[in-house]
Amino acid sequence: MTSRRIRIDVPALTRVEGEGSLRLEVRDGQLVELGLSIFEPPRYFEKFLEGREAKEVVDIVARICGICPVAYQMSALNALESLSAQMASPWVQQMRRVFYCGEWLQSHALHIHLLALPDFLGFDSAISMAGQHPDEVKRGLKLQGQGNALIRLFGGRSVHPVGARLGGFHHAPAPEEVAALVAKLQAAQQDARELTRFCAALPLPDDPQAFTCVALHHPDRYAIESGEIRTSTGLSLSADQFEQHFHETHKPDSTALWSDLDGQPYLTGPLARLNINHSQLPDFLQTRLSEIGLTLPSDNMFHSLIARALEIELVLHEAIRLLEEYEYPASPYTALSLEPGTGCGMSEAPRGLLWHRYELDKKGLIKSARIVPPTSQNQARIEADLHRSLTAFGLDHDEEALRLRAEQVIRNYDPCISCATHFLTLERVET
């Protein structure tokens, strides 16, 4: 009898940063063990927030992630502002969407060009790919740069931005600054068009599988900064109802919590969003879908790459549309008073649903906090996908081929672990 034990180490993962590994054991051509482990050190952010004033939360949660700080800020603000009888102004709501567009743009551009493309073009890293595909890498850097510029416009800086506050922003950008950036975003649209066509032309594996999609849905627009939960199983939930259906559990192998939807794994992220909200894409993207021959909803997880490219086109379009009508506001924020109680809020981080809950006491201090990030929500789905995809791929493949396919499957979810481009090492044991 031959058994293989394949160990895959992930040296840079977690909700934010950290480490993880994948264990595979194959006996008689059957996958008998598969474990996705995350061993990130606990980060205690929820505990750090206890006793803090509500106004401090937005700056503290911005430091949870270097790639998607805007998502943490917007989900926190949605949760806390639900405790106010007043609302942020329409200007603030629109500019929060623009701010968030910047994050999707930079995160998706980084993921596609520097993390995912080397897999599909046959390189072990973006650095080795850059020599033969410099134009693709430069396009990625340019698009990412425009996304960061959008974040800086409102956030002051692109990493851990500091511009957001309860009720709005500390500062409104000058109209001439906005106009200069709009011109650059318009120039980037050609790159984005080419990117979608490029991604659609890649030889992506054809790997259909059944999975449940979870995404925010907004009645008026493709949900980014706000909305209610929709699932492909037919649920429609407010932020307050999240905990009735979504549960987190500890697993021995993982310091990150695992999430389930009524006991089942589910997908959150670009493909889930596109599957649920594709009818709200603007006309030019409906045309693009026909042009590239992508039928939605898609049951091929590898279409996540194309979904990110389409969302890059979408957010460029949205940011330009909203900023072309930009008017300098009388005030960049509304002074909100918050009532004691529990507030829940959520938004769509680049890699999926990000839900927050805060309990505010009578003194206006945070009594408890709970944050459910997308990477932990996708963990069970990643493991189910690995099981199914590797079996369908063929467990008789050599270690290198299995490792590459496992990496591709994991990267489809854009977890924070894929910060490191060559993160899986295989150890094969034959008995």
Contacting positions for other proteins (CB under 8 A): 12, 17, 66, 106, 110, 114, 126-128, 130-131, 134, 137-138, 141-142, 144-145, 148, 157-160, 418-421
**Residue 369 corresponds to which amino acid?**
A
Residue 106 or 377: the one with the smaller Cβ distance to other proteins is 106
Residue 69 or 168: the one with the smaller Cβ distance to other proteins is 69
> Residue 122 carries which DSSP code?
T
Residue 6 or 13: the one with the smaller Cβ distance to other proteins is 13
> From residue 421, how far is each of 29, 53, 103, 140, 147 by CA, in Å?
29, 39, 21, 15, 21
Residue 84 or 158: the one with the smaller Cβ distance to other proteins is 158
**Residue 198 corresponds to which amino acid?**
F
**CA pair distance 197, 316, nearest whole angstrom:** 16
- List the structure tokens of 227: 């909305």
CB of 134 to other proteins, least distance (A): 5
CB of 318 to other proteins, least distance (A): 22
**CA pair distance 82, 339, nearest whole angstrom:** 9
CB of 200 to other proteins, least distance (A): 24
Residue 315 or 419: the one with the smaller Cβ distance to other proteins is 419
CB of 280 to other proteins, least distance (A): 30
List residues bridging with 22 in a β-sheet: 8, 36
**CA pair distance 212, 231, nearest whole angstrom:** 7
> Residue 257 carries which DSSP code?
E
Residue 74 or 137: the one with the smaller Cβ distance to other proteins is 137
> Residue 112 carries which DSSP code?
I
**CA pair distance 85, 93, nearest whole angstrom:** 16
- List the structure tokens of 327: 């008017």
Give residue 379's Cα distance to chain centre.
13
Residue 148 or 254: the one with the smaller Cβ distance to other proteins is 148
User: Which is it for strands 267-268 and 213-217: parallel, antiparallel or unpaired?
Assistant: parallel
Query: Tokens 């973006």 appear where?
Result: 126
**Residue 321 corresponds to which amino acid?**
R
Residue 21 or 82: the one with the smaller Cβ distance to other proteins is 21
Residue pair 220/209 in contact by the 8 Å Cβ criterion: no
Residue 177 or 228: the one with the smaller Cβ distance to other proteins is 177
Query: Tokens 């949870």 appear where?
Result: 64
- List the structure tokens of 412: 């489809």
Instruction: Tell me the CB-side half-sphere exposure of residue 27, using CA atoms within 13 A.
Output: 5
> Residue 300 carries which DSSP code?
B
Instruction: Tell me the CB-side half-sphere exposure of residue 390, using CA atoms within 13 A.
Output: 34
- List the structure tokens of 319: 């940011």
- List the structure tokens of 245: 């259906």
Residue 137 or 229: the one with the smaller Cβ distance to other proteins is 137
CB of 57 to other proteins, least distance (A): 18
